[in-house]
Chains A and B, each alone.
Chain A
């Protein structure tokens, strides 16, 4: 029997050699309180039993669809591919090494359905400061939180629930390696209002095999300040001139601090790379390198 009705949510699980964690990841989706979903598992050419395990679950639960890629796409390209297969109105990335808590989808879906203006919702491991959630942020408020407050773009893809059309309209993730998510939020939050959601909706497993542990990740993250710098110079930047000046100060200071940290750990190659990859010019260093000014109240509605 072919089910022709569209599920409300597409849970997208991209997997590459994760046989050890996959069953727990899949079962945490199947035991969600929210049941109106499809689970799309996209295997990126695993050489272990990942694909067999996924197909075994698909035989038992008709909400599961398994796709095997013809060639290895890599983390973010595979996420975009998975999104292109989604039939639901809402997208939720669920990593093959994480565990969704049973209330995860219920909490995210309910909040996003009640706030049609938001393009997507964001959750992380700790409570968002400044008020009860769900909290609606305009692009300007989101940028204020990131650049004048204590940050909000350090969420993984699984922290979000997207409207499928918004994710597609934004063209999905651009692939910059590990910080692709942070760079995506920067672009997405300039264009769409975001909804801050309750925290701690899934277990983010830390283990030696994960991408964030690979050695060149620090070098990939060194490019984030350059993206920030360009976002702040973009005509679409939602901050006013005075706020942009403070934001540049804060970005410059953070870049200097992270370069200093690398130098203190005697990793002079990384320290120099952090300075160079930031693309901050000498004149800008002189102009903006001042003590940072951040406030917990940045981006909080009066």
Chain B
């Protein structure tokens, strides 16, 4: 059997309530040339039985059960190592892909070989029709000088398998591992903006983002961004970096202030300690933010 175009990677941990709907939304795609790799991370409920049922019904489905629990992002990397297709699409076990999801994502990425991956949010990308290719510099301009690009989950991307492997997958920083991954990936590869709202992102009490401690994990994101802006491969110009630091310092100060005002002094402290901004840098960069909705839209200035 020839290898499929897309490997849909579904990582599961105790999701019997939503798993059937999630799998069926993949099998109901109008783009049929995929394999669905379901990797169970040691569920204690009936998730594996549910997955096996579909494996028996549809030969595009492959179920793998981990001998020990890897955790969310290491399990995503493990799933990616099992992919046989040139493109990978993470699909969460509690989400629902709309039938046109793969059909919308795959052709633009195939037609734009310069892009390492495509990104789709829950809304339209402002300022341009899609698909639109962003250079690393434009991606960083959108994130740091505009209104953001890196806040979406793994399910929002279609990634070239060799690019994902070249980037060595997600580094595990807990919940914000995706944001930190986009930050590294967009510095190295052009990204293709895709139409939005291609799947239903379910919010429910059992999901990781609702777990306590997530706010603490996110406190580390500023530190990563601060380092990315100082890194040799940062695609922004000197002036842009200065502005980006200003915006980041302002956002961080606001978050520290908010945590303090709601009485969570430990969180406020964690945010201050983990942001990586030194006292001298606070003095230098704590100014009014300056963001523009058209950042990353204009052709790069020489």
- Chain A residues proximal to chain B, CB less than 8 Å: 33, 99, 101-103, 106-107, 110, 125-127, 131-133, 198-201, 203-205
Contact = CB atoms under 8 A, between A and B. Distances in A.
A201 B195 contact: yes
Main secondary structure of the interface of B (DSSP, over half): loop
Contacts of A110: 99
5 cross-chain pairs, A with B, having the tightest CB-CB distances, nearest first: A126-B123, A203-B129, A132-B200, A199-B197, A200-B196
B98 A133 contact: yes
Contacts of B128: 203
Contacts of B17: none
Contacts of B103: 33, 103
B123 A200 contact: yes
A198 B96 CA distance: 12
Contacts of B171: none
Contact of A101 (B96, B98, B99, B130): B130
A126 B98 contact: no
A203 B122 contact: no
Contacts of A99: 129
Interface of B: 96, 98-100, 103-104, 122-124, 128-130, 195-198, 200-202
A200 B195 contact: yes
Nearest to B202: A132
Given A126-B124, A127-B123, A198 B197 contact: yes
Given A200-B123, A203-B130, A127 B196 contact: yes
Given A103-B195, A199-B197, A200-B195, A125 B123 contact: yes
B197 A127 contact: yes
B104 A199 contact: no
Contacts of A200: 123-124, 195-197
Nearest to A110: B99
A133 to B, nearest CB: 7
25 contacts: A33-B103, A101-B195, A103-B103, A106-B100, A125-B123, A125-B124, A126-B124, A126-B197, A127-B122, A127-B123, A127-B197, A127-B201, A131-B200, A132-B96, A133-B98, A133-B197, A198-B198, A199-B122, A199-B196, A200-B196, A200-B197, A201-B195, A203-B128, A203-B129, A203-B130
Nearest to B25: A132
Label chain A's interface by main secondary structure: loop
Contacts of A125: 123-124, 196
B92 to A, nearest CB: 13
B98 A198 contact: yes
Contacts of B96: 132
A36 to B, nearest CB: 16
A198 to B, nearest CB: 5
Contacts of B200: 127, 131-133
A130 to B, nearest CB: 10
B100 A199 contact: no
Residue from A126, A127, A133 having most chain B Cβ neighbours under 10 A: A127
Nearest to B107: A102
B93 to A, nearest CB: 15
A106, A131, A132 interface centre (most CB from chain B within 10 Å): A132
Contacts of A205: 129
A107 B104 CA distance: 11
A101 B125 CA distance: 13
B124 A203 contact: yes
Contacts of A131: 200
A101 B193 CA distance: 13
Given A127-B196, A132-B98, A133-B197, 13 more contacts: A99-B129, A103-B104, A127-B201, A131-B200, A132-B200, A132-B202, A133-B98, A198-B197, A199-B122, A200-B195, A201-B195, A203-B129, A205-B129
A99 B200 CA distance: 24
A199 B201 CA distance: 13
Contacts of B197: 126-127, 133, 198-200
Nearest to B199: A132
A23 to B, nearest CB: 14
B153 to A, nearest CB: 13
Contacts of A127: 122-123, 196-197, 200-201
Contacts of A102: 104
